[in-house]
Amino acid sequence: MSESGVAVVIEDDDDVRNLVDAILKEAGFVVHSAATGREGVEVVRDHHPSVVTLDVGLPDVDGHEVLRRIRQFSDAYVVMLTARSDEPDTLTAFLTGADDYINKPFLPRELRARVTAMMRRPRPGTTLAEPEPARDGMSMLPDAGDDSVFKHNGLALNCKSRMVALRGSVLALTRSEFDLLFDLLRAKGQVRTRADLVRAARGAYYDDDAYISEADERAVESHIGNLRRKLGEDPQSPRFLQTVRGVGYRLAPKRPD
């Protein structure tokens, strides 16, 4: 196996599939390809990739449905590639479990940079299936005498084990959701702009000089929405994440209970 690992390309357009194949091989991946959604699901199941690129407009099964099926058994990083630029389509991708979303046509260096940035983020080593609530979920968050564990209003996050528990029950978060929550917790109430959170979710390749698109910021908003849903937030009285209108987000104040 290569140093980078295994990648799967699910794309019906021969030219695009060959281009993505070449980009990922150049990045050090062993690449397997599929031209249809059904075939792609089986290729992912057979080869256990670290990264999957997935076309939205496949000829047999919609890319969002393919992603839903992949997420039932795989924790691979998934990058959606599409000619569609509608906001609802972008939101659907992230709600279904995509890690990134790139519009066609794209620059080869952009795809490679985004994949490389994702691979630099720690992998939790578990699937994204929702776990059963644990009676003693906090015991699944190893104690730490340093700054590895962040606690806030009944929420606990361990940045070393990449586990989160809410009132004793372990939460199943995607990588992007975890990274955004971690960034907000360690900011300790300071406002994080949407651009700040894009960099937190995307990794080191999004430095201070990197261009942040509207699609990037919409992706952050989608991830924050998913986080709030999993945290059971009351929109009228948020316990964890507050919106700072026109700017970004911050941690809600601590509560005595």
Cβ within 8 Å of residue 145, ≥6 positions away: none
Domain ranges, ordered by start, for the chain: 5-119, 137-171+173-251
3-state DSSP assignment of residue 99: coil
pLDDT confidence of residue 113 = 86
Looking at the predicted structure, is the pLDDT value of residue 140 above 70? no
* Closest to 231 measured CA to CA, from 249, 244, 213, 215: 249
Of all residues in the chain, the percent with pLDDT exceeding 70 is 81
Rounded percentage of the chain residues whose pLDDT exceeds 90: 43
Tens digits of per-residue pLDDT, 173-207? 877 888 899 999 999 999 999 988 888 877 644 45
CATH 1.10.10.10 fits 137-171+173-251, yes or no: yes
CA dist., res. 66 & res. 45, Å (int): 12
Q: Please give, one letter per residue, the 3-state secondary structure of 10-47.
A: ECCCHHHHHHHHHHHHHCCEEEEEECCHHHHHHHHHHH
Structural tokens at position 248: 């970004």
Query: Which band of pLDDT confidence, cut at 50, 70 and 90, is reported for residue 135?
Result: very low
Mean pLDDT of 160-177: 86
pTM: 0.59
Give the fold, CATH level 3, of 5-119: Rossmann fold (3.40.50)
